[in-house]
Structure 1
């Protein structure tokens, strides 16, 4: 019995101290009238709509009779492809994403082709390429 008391007194003191501390905190909170600690009414869980809408416009320009293909990233950063049978070609997308990666690659059957990416009307990248079946590439990393 003596060895049991020598070994058990520390855990008993810890448990008694924890209980006494809990009772003291509960009584002090009641005495000072503080609000509940954990209370959820659902008001903070609504979706916050972004007010920063961006208009991203892809443009391909060159000789009017040119035909070819264009690949670009949509607002979900997924690759899309389109064919054109005359220039200029354009595609506009709207997004409220905080940052947009805009990428455009175009190739035509003419000797000159250009691309332009504008964000909210401001030109962010513009490239021009010449040569047989010219290919052009425009990139905006963070619009």
Structure 2
């Protein structure tokens, strides 16, 4: 009987001793509290100056378009049957914002533009039947 039990018994003893050793070492080396310093945690993100991001979709005057864009939180917004020209201004205090606008119109010409604080980041146009266009700025 001892020949069959000694190996599993030795394994249990080694595991218990190893667990006890690890627990004692963690108690010695990882137990002290780290000091916190005033001002080391970041305050809310409203410390930056507000940034104004403008999406614009343009085309033949009076043309109709379906438009999708990302808001300041990165959530998609869809609006349908909008008369062109169209624009929306978003304001954010984030240091950067991923900006994206997609539009498809019923006319033969459509264009888009993304600008922030007066600086154009992307501008494109398309001339085709039921024209489709997109603009993207990774960091507006």
What TM-score, normalized by structure 2, do the two folds share?
0.68
Match of 1:53 among 50, 55, 59: 50
Q: Which runs of 4+ in 1 moved over 3 A?
A: 37-40, 42-48
Deviations 1:51-97 (A, max 9, x none): 23210000000101211200000000011111244211001100011
> For 1:60 and 1:72, how far apart are their aligned partners in 2?
11
Deviation of 1:47 after TM superposition, in Å, equals 3.2
Structure 2: runs of 5 or more not aligned: 1-27, 29-33
* Aligned-partner SS, 2:83: coil
Q: 1:132 aligns with which of 129, 132, 140?
A: 129
**Superposed counterparts of 1:33-72, under 5 Å:** 38=35, 46-47=43-44, 49-72=46-69
Task: Decide which structure has the larger Cα Rg and report it.
Answer: 1
Partner of 1:118: 115
Aligned residues: 107
SS at match of 1:97: coil
RMSD of aligned C-alpha atoms? 2.2
TM-score where L is the length of structure 1:
0.67
Secondary structure, aligned partner of 2:97: coil
Distance 1:43 1:101, change over 3 A: closer
